[in-house]
Amino acid sequence: MPETINGLSLTQKSLGFDEMLDILSKELGVETERVRNAVYLLDEEKTIAFIARYRKEATQSLNEIQIRQISERIQYLRRLKERKEAVENAIREQGKWQEELDRQIAAAMTLQEVENLYFPFKKHKKTKADVAREKGLAPLSDLIKEAKEPLDNEISAYLSEENGLLRIEDVMQGVKDILREEITFSSEVRTRLYELLLQKGIVETEQLQAPDPKGLYRDFYRSSKSVRSLEDHRILAMNRGEKAKVIRVKLSLPEDPFPRFFQIFRFSGSLHYYDTLYQSYKEGFEELLFPSVVRQVRNALTEKAQTRAIEVFAHNLRHLLLVPPLRKRSVLGIDPGLRTGCKCAVIDSNGMFLDHATIYPHAPHHAKSESEKILSELYERHPFEIVAIGNGTASRETEAFVADWIAKRNHDVSYLIVSEAGASVYSASENAVEEFPELDVTSRGAISIARRVQDPLAELVKIPPESIGVGMYQHDLPVSELNRVLKMEVESVVNYVGVDLNQASPYLLQYVSGLNRSKAWKIHEYKTEFGFFRSREDLKNVKGIGEKTYELAAGFCRIPESENPLDNTVIHPESYERIHRLLKRVGSAFEEIGLRPDDFLKKVRSIGHQTLSTELQVTEGELKDYLDALTIRHLDPRDSLPQPLLKKEVRGLDDLGEGMELEGTVRNVVDFGAFVDIGVEIDGLIHQSQFGKRWVKPSAIVHVGEIIRVRILKVDKDRGRINLAFVQKA
């Protein structure tokens, strides 16, 4: 009996497991054995983060991105195999399976190709051609494709009052209906037309009558661009403009392709009904096939653009989550507002809520002096070090007010603008209500804004990833796919950073490798009942945490309070015995390494990495990981990154001039550029062309949360735009 994995035969000729591995190996440029081991581990339900960090010996150090690619691609190939089998079974049930179909489906490497081959055999809505076939006209349509002489007698034989075929014209119309549809069933024509539209198609747009008060779609009022040069963000923008009925979008070809496609059918020009065939096929091509394939192409372009937009979201989200925490700093969070006022909340250096108030410094209240007094009273009761201002409505007005207050009082306080995306979602959630039942929604939002400064990751995980607005066109993207990818990115970051098991909230714990929402809350309940964890081993005492979960989660959980110092490292418990042998062989104690890591590494070098690897029965790569974990200076990798930009004074648009250079914080990165907060009421845009690297996407140069130096190119006060050029990283 052949070996199988997940029900797939390893010896099957068409898209068998070995063939899938070969495809992945060639696509990713990775040896087949490494791919095979990664797939086996994934099939054993090992998480991507766990495989990347703790199974390097099996995959020969495949990184997380490569393993994720393998995971997604093997799933696609398995779906492709299942679809091929389903299509074959469906066609066989109709008794229409042919040897040529067998070859074509076996060769198909995309789901789209398989669907094109299956199209002629799918059940469709009843068509005119179906009605004609029910009247028995199919044999006559076949005769007409071969006749070199008139078929007057044969055609007349089909006249029937019962079938509603009262005239010769009625019979011929039915035949034409069948012929019109036949070209749509040609998988060869459909596939070649699809490819032609992708290669040589032209997308034209024109303005319609729906209003566009902000001129969002001005670039599309009259435009023409080849499909090949159409950027992903323009595709999504066109779709949105079309849906709003502001523009019309048309996809066409520079010349009529039908004459070439008609040649595929090899009809002789000497046929008596050649003109009928040509005209019928042409009508079918133009009226039925072309619109159908255009929809396919536009769907494919949209899907590609959405995939790219989701990648942009994921990339930006990752860097937003990795913004370094400002630990042990007390913070005043402000959720700005005009009519409803600015909600203020103070949290201590551990993130605990202390006090709150509402101030009304802006229109229509203009209670600036009263607001300054309230702020000063808050400061006297709870001296805060940082003011975090949400970037929503009235953000810049509030920034100016806070900067003025700091200058007047000469307090040792700094401020920064914080993305408040998703704060309202969290503050209205059941969990926020349970945590702060006595506070209103906006006060909870101010607490969330403040906590994002102390530890962005710990706070942002409380918010659905799709509500964190760091991308483009999020409302136009498929929700399930967006959620899936963004959740995967959150999991990646949480496991990259690791968690303090005793301090982490259930919101954070649910993203740890091997855990989920239910298990995270079980851990929270355990801490509530029994107190802090004293070792990683204690995790096994939590209901629902078995050996499998423990294996996947333990290495990503830190316990500073543990008597075993290894419990506060990235070293997995399965390697503790090796670490003890390593320390004994080198002649060092764990405590000494922390004080004098260079002395420890010097001893290791004197023995030799190869010798130690052999004695410990580990690869040199594993040994290097152990040494890095024992001597690392930053347990949290975010601590090694530049700190967020803090300010004490504010700028206005009038303070800006062309050619001026200044520092700013990257707020969002998309394919056409990056938006940068330079301390005025609007973010400036560095267009893709202003990065100094042609053909390189902005995301390859800068990322969300990064502090960079920019040069002002133009300030357009009327349109509220600032054009910037990238200078360098700060």
- Are residues 259 and 177 part of one domain? yes
CATH number at residue 207: 1.10.3500.10
Question: Strand, coil or helix: what is 489?
Answer: helix
**Amino acid in position 382:** H
CATH number at residue 722: 2.40.50.140
Residues 692, 730 contacting (CB under 8 angstroms): no
Give the model's pLDDT for residue 424.
Answer: 83
Instruction: Note whether residue 460 is domain-resident.
Output: no
Measure Cα distances from 91 to 35, 85, 87, 105 in Å: 34, 10, 6, 12
Of 639, 665, 691, which residue sits at a domain end? Answer: 639
Task: Using the predicted structure, report yes or no on whether residue 103 has a pLDDT greater than 50.
Answer: yes
- Are residues 140 and 107 part of one domain? no
CATH number at residue 434: 3.30.420.140
Written as six digits, the tokens of 155 are 């055609």
- Are residues 191 and 140 part of one domain? yes
Task: Using the predicted structure, report yes or no on whether residue 317 has a pLDDT greater than 80.
Answer: yes
Of 121, 154, 173, which residue sits at a domain end? Answer: 121
pLDDT band for position 555 (cuts 50, 70, 90): very high
Number of CB atoms found within 10 A of residue 2's CB: 9
pLDDT tens for residues 588-612? 998 889 889 999 999 999 999 999 9
Task: Using the predicted structure, report yes or no on whether residue 13 has a pLDDT greater than 70.
Answer: no
Question: Strand, coil or helix: what is 389?
Answer: strand
Instruction: Note whether residue 185 is domain-resident.
Output: yes
Give the model's pLDDT for residue 676.
Answer: 93
- Are residues 450 and 348 part of one domain? yes
Instruction: Report the pLDDT averaged over residues 382-409.
Output: 91
What single DSSP character describes residue 471?
A: S
Task: Using the predicted structure, report yes or no on whether residue 9 has a pLDDT greater than 60.
Answer: no
Give the model's pLDDT for residue 410.
Answer: 80
- Are residues 662 and 594 part of one domain? no
Measure Cα distances from 565 to 96, 298, 419, 479, 538 in Å: 69, 57, 37, 43, 15
Least Cα distance to 418 among 440, 447, 383, 443 occurs for 447
- Are residues 284 and 193 part of one domain? yes
pLDDT tens for residues 27-72? 999 999 999 999 999 999 999 999 999 999 999 999 999 999 999 9
303-307, 390-394, 686-690, 725-729 — which is least confidently predicted? Answer: 390-394
Written as six digits, the tokens of 355 are 């006090």
pLDDT band for position 99 (cuts 50, 70, 90): confident
Instruction: Note whether residue 489 is domain-resident.
Output: no
Give the model's pLDDT for residue 396.
Answer: 84
CATH number at residue 76: 1.10.10.650
pLDDT band for position 14 (cuts 50, 70, 90): low
Half-sphere exposure (Cβ direction) of 562: Cα atoms closer than 13 Å: 20
- Are residues 160 and 79 part of one domain? no
Q: How many domains does the chain divide into?
A: 5
What single DSSP character describes residue 462?
A: T
- Are residues 526 and 632 part of one domain? yes
Instruction: Note whether residue 475 is domain-resident.
Output: no
C-alpha–C-alpha distance, residues 4 and 272, integer Å: 58
Q: Where are the alpha helices (DSSP H) in 110-230?
A: 111-118, 128-134, 138-144, 152-156, 168-182, 187-200
- Are residues 86 and 145 part of one domain? no
- Are residues 281 and 164 part of one domain? yes
C-alpha–C-alpha distance, residues 150 and 484, integer Å: 63
Instruction: Note whether residue 511 is domain-resident.
Output: yes
Task: Using the predicted structure, report yes or no on whether residue 560 has a pLDDT greater than 80.
Answer: yes
Give the model's pLDDT for residue 642.
Answer: 82
pLDDT tens for residues 341-360? 999 999 999 999 999 999 99
Give the model's pLDDT for residue 8.
Answer: 37
Domain of residue 632, residue span: 500-639
Place of tokens 């990238």: 726
Written as six digits, the tokens of 108 are 């198909």
- Are residues 301 and 357 part of one domain? no
Task: Using the predicted structure, report yes or no on whether residue 12 has a pLDDT greater than 60.
Answer: no
C-alpha–C-alpha distance, residues 464 and 421, integer Å: 10
pLDDT tens for residues 357-378? 999 999 999 999 999 999 999 9
Phi-psi category of residue 473: left, alpha or beta, with phi > 0 → left and psi -120 to 50 → alpha: left
Residues 691, 643 contacting (CB under 8 angstroms): no
Give the model's pLDDT for residue 6.
Answer: 38
Instruction: Note whether residue 133 is domain-resident.
Output: yes
pLDDT tens for residues 521-532? 999 999 999 999
- What backbone phi and psi angles, to 5 degrees, belong to 377? -65, -40
Percent of the chain with pLDDT over 90: 71
pLDDT tens for residues 605-643? 999 999 999 999 998 889 999 999 999 877 788 888 888
Task: Using the predicted structure, report yes or no on whether residue 650 has a pLDDT greater than 80.
Answer: no
> What average pLDDT is seen over the chain?
91
Written as six digits, the tokens of 399 are 């920034």
Instruction: Report the pLDDT averaged over residues 493-519.
Output: 95
What single DSSP character describes residue 725?
A: E
pLDDT tens for residues 677-728? 888 878 899 999 999 888 889 999 999 989 999 999 999 887 778 999 999 9
Task: Using the predicted structure, report yes or no on whether residue 408 has a pLDDT greater than 80.
Answer: yes
Instruction: Note whether residue 329 is domain-resident.
Output: no
Question: Strand, coil or helix: what is 624?
Answer: helix
Least Cα distance to 514 among 556, 476, 482, 477 occurs for 556
Give the model's pLDDT for residue 720.
Answer: 79
Of 393, 423, 454, which residue sits at a domain end? Answer: 454
Instruction: Report the pLDDT averaged over residues 195-223.
Output: 93
pLDDT band for position 173 (cuts 50, 70, 90): very high
pLDDT band for position 3 (cuts 50, 70, 90): very low
Residue, of 235 and 392, whose pLDDT is higher: 235
Instruction: Report the pLDDT averaged over residues 660-686.
Output: 90
Instruction: Note whether residue 58 is domain-resident.
Output: yes
- Are residues 392 and 298 part of one domain? no
